[in-house]
Amino acid sequence: MQLYRRPDEYDLEHTGDDADLKFYVGLATRLKPKSVLELACGTGRITLPMAEEGARSGFSVVGLDSEATMLKLARDKARSLSTAARKRIRLVQGDMRKWHGREPFELIIVPCSSITHLLEMRDQLEVWRRAFQNLAPGGRFVVEAPMPNFSAYADSFTNPPRILVEIDRDVTDPKRNVRLVRRRTVTYLPDEQRAQIRFLYEKYRRKSLVESYIDDFESHVYFPRELRLLFLHTGFEIEDVFGDYNRKPLSAKSEQMIMVGRKPISGGKIQEP
């Protein structure tokens, strides 16, 4: 995807995003899996600290992503991990709808709303089914997606649709002396449950614009019961549902939906189409 052809800027955009990192590393520390798979691991923002935790707690980590440019940066950064963590991590190129691990995992995570990139129901079902197959009995599959913005959704029904422009990122990299400002517009296609997202980037050095670029992409809008259904339909039990990274219960005011599905220890059977 065009969106992921600038991995350095991706990391810059995510400067200071550590609430999700703490959530996932904390989850692994509590669940004590032997092996963790991160689907759509990107530049390793979560995978790499997870591998350091793996070295301390005794689990291994596989990061899977379809985008070579993102994985290359993840691999470059992995060289700075401790020797113990380097022995625990594997970064693999592949599609989360199809990839099959050699050994079953005990924890599979899809952080950072990566699951919204799959627009078709058959692709979503393939990911849930594949995760079920890649898990050991009793293993967990954790998926997160943003809670739909109901007021913006309602605005999409006006004619012409009202479109909000917001600055949703404004970050500075002191080492490169670069400030990156991102403006975002979202147009909902309510009947398709799809968001058309436009990111307008501006890069400044000493207050002067040095580069601007644009990314357009589409994203699936999940609703809470739909997420539940994807787990239940593919054979999972739902163990936990959170509304944020502090593990607050899901409510209408939540910004996130984080669902933890568990593959039954016995008797779980995957639903075929």
Ligand X SMILES: C[S@@+](CC[C@H](N)C(=O)[O-])C[C@H]1O[C@@H](n2cnc3c(N)ncnc32)[C@H](O)[C@@H]1O
Residue 49 interacting with ligand X (CB under 6 A): no
User: One-letter amino acid identity for 157?
Assistant: F
- Residue number closest to ligand X, CB atom: 42
Contacts of 265 (CB under 8 A, 6+ apart): 137, 138
Judged by beta carbon, residue 64 or residue 250, the one nearer ligand X is 64
- Residues 56-115 close enough to bind ligand X by CB under 6 A: 64-67, 70, 95-97, 111-112, 114
Residue 82 to residue 105: CA distance in whole angstroms: 23
Instruction: Give the distance between the most distant pair of CA atoms in the chain.
Output: 62
- Residues 163-222 close enough to bind ligand X by CB under 6 A: none
> What's the closest the beta carbon of residue 67 comes to ligand X, in angstroms?
3
Residue 4 interacting with ligand X (CB under 6 A): yes
How many residues sit close enough to ligand X to count as binding (CB under 6 A)?
Answer: 19
Judged by beta carbon, residue 35 or residue 116, the one nearer ligand X is 116
- 3 state DSSP class of 163: coil
The binder of ligand X chosen from 25, 36, 46, 258 (CB under 6 A): 46
Contact 235, 267 (CB under 8 A): no
Segment interacting with ligand X, rule: CB under 6 A, options 35-43, 142-150, 192-200, 265-273: 35-43
Query: Of 105, 119, 145, whose CA–CA distance to 231 is shortest?
Result: 145
DSSP class per residue in 12-53: HHTTT--HHHHHHHHHHHHH--SEEEEES-TTSTTHHHHHHH
Contact residues: ligand X, CB under 6 A? 4, 14, 40-42, 45-46, 64-67, 70, 95-97, 111-112, 114, 117
